[in-house]
Amino acid sequence: MEPTAANIRKSIEKNWNEYLSKYGNLFSSSSVSGSSPPSVFVGSFGYPKVGVGPMVPPIHGDTSILDAPERWLGKTLEEIVNFRLNLVRGTQNVSVSNPQGRYIENLQELAMSSNTPDSEITFYKNTTPTTFIDGESAPFGPIGEIKSAKFSGMSTSKSVEKAYYDRDLKAEDAVLALYNSGIEISKIQKCFSIGMFGKDRKLVPTRWSITATDDMISKNLVDEILDYSQIDSYLVFTHEHLGNQFSVLLFPHRWIYEMEEAWHTDKGEIGFGADAEDANGLDHYPSIAGAYFAAKLGIAEYLSKKKRQAGVLVLREIQPEYAVPVGVWQVREAIRAAMNKIPTLVDTLDQGIDIACKNMSISKNEWLAKGTILKMLKQKTITDYF
* DSSP-assigned letters across all residues of 125-148: S--B------SSS-----EEEEEE
pLDDT higher at 214 or 381? 214
| pLDDT for the residue numbered 366 | 92
> Is residue 192 within 8 Å of 175, Cβ to Cβ?
yes
Is the pTM for the entire model greater than 0.85?
A: yes
- Which residues lie closer than 8 Å to 129 by C-beta, 6 or more apart? 20, 24, 26, 141, 142
User: What's the rounded Cα separation, in Å, for the pair 113 and 322?
Assistant: 32
| pLDDT for the residue numbered 385 | 40
CATH number of 229-385: 3.30.230
Q: Residue 48: is the preceding peptide bond cis (ω within 30°)?
A: yes
Tell me which residue of 261, 359, 244, 255 sits closest to 299, measured CA to CA: 255
> Is residue 157 within 8 Å of 110, Cβ to Cβ?
no
Q: Within 10 A of 222 (CB to CB), how many other CB atoms are there?
A: 21
pLDDT over 90 percentage in the chain:
74
What are the pLDDT digits (tens) for 47-74?
Answer: 999 999 999 999 999 999 999 999 999 9
pLDDT higher at 210 or 157? 210
How many helices (H) and strands (E) are present in the chain, helices listed first?
A: 12, 12
Residues of the chain with CATH 3.30.230: 229-385
